[in-house]
Structures are given as C-alpha cells and as structure tokens.
Amino acid sequence: MAEMTREELTVRQERVLLVGVILPDGTADPRDPLGELRSLAKTAGAKVADEMVAKRRMPHVKCYVGAGKAEEIAQRCEQNEIDAIIFDNDLTPSQIRKLEEITECKVLDRSELILDIFANHAQSSQSRLQVELAQLEYTYPRLSGMWTHLDRHGGGVGTRGPGERQIETDRRIVQKRVGFLKSKLADIDRRKLREVKGRNDTFCVCLVGYTNAGKSTLMNLLTGTGTYVADQLFATLETKTRRWNLSQHTDVLLSDTIGFVRDLPHHLVASFRATLEEAIHADLLIHVADASSHRVAQQIQAVDKVLDDLGCDRSRELLVLNKIDQIIDPTIFTILNSEFPDALHVSAKTGRGADAVIQAVAKRAEGLPVRIKMEANYRNGRLMQFIAQHANVEQQTYNDSVTCIEAIITADKLEAIQYFGNDVEILTQTAP
C-alpha cells in the first residue's frame, strides 16, 4: 500500500503545471506567489512547464477554483502536455478528485509535494518510517476515493458493492500499517528521549531555521566537519550532532536539523517529532535565517510557529541572520537592525561574524566569568585537574595539605566545583 502511495504521487521527471490560488489571508509571497512552489517542484525532480495564478475570496467548495478556471486549467494541460498539476494550496480529497476528473491529469497539493520530497530524501530507517506514516495519514483519504467508481456496479440499496468492500479492506490494511508505524516510531521516540536526556551534563545547541537558510553550512563552519550542503529545499532530513569546541575550556554539542517551510503539513511535524527532539530539549536554539531573502521576516515567523507548536522554549533562542555577503544595499541592514535588533549577522560561506556567534553561545553555555578565591585539599586530584583544565589560575599558594587558589572561572564551572567534595570552600567571588 505504502509503495503504491509513493509511486502514485511522485512527480519526478514529470511535466507539471503550477497553480496558486491567492486568498485574502494567504501567506504566499505577493511579489512571486509561485516562487517557493517552483523551488519545491524542482527539488522533487519535476519539470515546470506552465504556471497559473488565480485570486479568490474563498476556495470553491467543489474544486477549489471556480468551474471556469478548472476548464481553463484543463485546456492548458492539454496544450502543454502536462502530466501533473500541483496546487500551492491544500485541497480536500474530494476537490482533488473533482479536479482530476475535469483535467484528466494527476493533481497534487502542496503538502503532498512536500511529502514526495521527503520520501525521496529520507535515508535512515527512522526517517523512512516517519515519511511513510505521514504519507499514509495525509494521502490515504484521497487514495481511498479511487475505489468509489466501483460502487456504481454494486447492488441496490442495502447491499455492499465491490467498491465499498474494497474500501474497507483497504482501510483495514492501512490502519494496521499506521498502528505498526506508530508503535515503532514511539519506540524510537523513547530511545531518542533517553539519549538526549542522558547528555544532561553537556550543553546542547541546536540549529533550526527555514529550509535552505544555511544551517548545515553554519554547522560545517563552526565544527569544521562536512555535513551535506545543497542549494535545494530539505537537503537535511536527519539530525546530525557533533562536538563543538567553543573555547579552551568548553565543548558543547551542536545539532543540525531538518529545515522548516511555511504551512508545513501537520502530519509531517508530528511524524518528525523524534528528529526534532534535539530542538525540543536543546539548551540553546540557534535560529538561522536567510537575510538575503526579502521574505526573511515571514520565514522567521513560520519557523517560530513550528517551534511554538513543538513546545520549544523560545527564550533560549539566538537569532542569526545568515548570507549577509549577499546583501549589497545598505538600507537592508538598517531595516534588519530595526526589525531584529538582537540578531547576529553572519555569512556561513565566508566565515564573517562567526566569532560573534561563538562568543554569544559561550556566554550562554558558560555563564559569566567570575574571579574566585577558594581553598581545597590539594590531594583532591580530580578537582586539581578540573581547575587546571577549566580555569585561568592567577595565583596558588600551599599551606600543609590546603591550597589557596585565585582564578577566573565561568559560572557553569564554578557550579561544578561545588560537587568535588566537602573539602572545597569558595572564600570570595567577585567580578573579574
């Protein structure tokens, strides 16, 4: 069943017509309403052969667009030898069926297209299960409609036609599979949660942001590793975690996650919960945004919405405006500064601004530095080693078995020192 769904709805190598219906409360870009859908379609491997935009006050109940427009779409499909029509809006199963009937073409909506991309990009068994679940839950209602034509050959009132039986068999198979996928994913979820919670001694930072904002590029810049980077949407589907050496004294964990997009299908967010577990439990989120996009404010808003839905604590968020190397007009900086006064400006490509990111993260991870004067038993080898590694010792004197140390140390390490035994005493604590 799942295999059939995937093949049924894929648009790879197909000639497609893009259709955008602009509604008064729509979130599409007014300057280029189909821009994002075009990128999504290309990422999915489709050949965009034609595009149409229509304005409506509200969706038409039967086929989303009006009857006249549906006919026009059908004509354009014939003229341009279109295989599939992709709507920028989310359609109901019956609207899709009606449009397929009128146009004699395969019709997909925006969520199905995103699901198609995810299905193509999913590599780990976990992300494959997640995509399959989202596909079954989202696309099943429309596929079940494929059997309704058989109903006409059924018996009279009260008898069950072959179509109806088929729907029921189908539904049972799908429900069983959905149950199986959910329980497998719940296992993975629990395992992931244990893994994330098990790291409670290490500060965890997670990169989040709109797809194609440059999260993976920034990850590579900061940790010096090779994560897959591509100028396409949803290049990253798996979460990758790396150790990031922030300073002489501190290592943190940095995770790169899946990108977000406006109107992300609800089922997809739910299914990818385990992948986003890192973001939910991170000590700090680095929200990466593409400052060179004129849609940056809307993209930031879309990401924040998903983070809120996931229950992330946004007070632990650091906004990073990336791709500043592409901004030539200085007035853009003035606008960005007034809209996002606390954001850091970086270019993950050239490395500009990386130091400021490191410092900001260090400040959160380590807390403020303090000057301390402390006494301890110098035979406490683990403590002595910890201090040598994590503090800048300015003076150290010995008196019998007691050593008196003056040092500058960050707040997090100072807290850790209290756990090294009863023979440790902090005498004074002042600003450095």
Ligand X SMILES: Nc1nc2c(ncn2[C@@H]2O[C@H](COP(=O)(O)OP(=O)(O)OP(=O)(O)O)[C@@H](O)[C@H]2O)c(=O)[nH]1
For binding to ligand X (CB under 6 A), which residues are involved? 209, 211-217, 229-231, 233-236, 259, 322-323, 325-326, 347-349
Contacted entry of ligand X, Mg ion, none for residue 326, CB cut-off 5 to 8 Å set by kind? ligand X
Instruction: Name which of 70 and 114 has its Cβ closer to ligand X.
Output: 114
Instruction: Name which of 82 and 208 has its Cβ closer to ligand X.
Output: 208
Least distance from Mg ion to the Cβ atom of residue 357, Å: 17
Least distance from ligand X to the Cβ atom of residue 123, Å: 13
Q: Quick one: residue 330, left, alpha or beta (phi over 0 = left, psi -120 to 50 = alpha)?
A: alpha
> What single DSSP character describes residue 161?
P
- How far apart, in whole angstroms, are the C-alpha atoms of residue 366 and residue 374? 19
In degrees and rounded to multiples of 5, residue 161 shows phi and psi of -75, 165
Instruction: Name which of 126 and 347 has its Cβ closer to ligand X.
Output: 347
Strand-strand pairing, 369-377 and 425-430: antiparallel
Contacted entry of Mg ion, ligand X, none for residue 33, CB cut-off 5 to 8 Å set by kind? none
Would you count residue 235 as binding Mg ion (CB under 5 A)? yes
Least distance from ligand X to the Cβ atom of residue 338, Å: 22
User: What H or E segment, with its residue span, contains residue 361?
Assistant: helix 354-366
- CA-based end-to-end distance of the chain: 66
Would you count residue 216 as binding Mg ion (CB under 5 A)? yes
- How far apart, in whole angstroms, are the C-alpha atoms of residue 260 and residue 263? 9
- Side chain identity at residue 187, one-letter code: D
Cα distances (Å, whole numbers) of residue 258 to 90, 236, 255, 399: 22, 5, 10, 56
- Asked whether 185 and 207 are in contact (CB, 8 A), the reply is no
Which strands make up the sheet holding 204-209, listed edge to edge?
Answer: 240-245, 251-256, 204-209, 284-290, 317-322, 344-345
Contacted entry of ligand X, Mg ion, none for residue 76, CB cut-off 5 to 8 Å set by kind? none
Would you count residue 275 as binding Mg ion (CB under 5 A)? no
Residues 6+ positions from 177 with CB-CB distance below 8 Å = 1, 2, 136
Would you count residue 288 as binding Mg ion (CB under 5 A)? no
Instruction: Name which of 73 and 237 has its Cβ closer to Mg ion.
Output: 237
Would you count residue 223 as binding Mg ion (CB under 5 A)? no
Instruction: Name which of 81 and 231 has its Cβ closer to ligand X.
Output: 231
Instruction: Name which of 89 and 216 has its Cβ closer to Mg ion.
Output: 216
Would you count residue 211 as binding Mg ion (CB under 5 A)? no
Would you count residue 236 as binding Mg ion (CB under 5 A)? yes
Instruction: Name which of 264 and 284 has its Cβ closer to ligand X.
Output: 264
Least distance from ligand X to the Cβ atom of residue 48, Å: 19
The residues that touch Mg ion, with contacts defined as CB under 5 A, are 216, 235-236
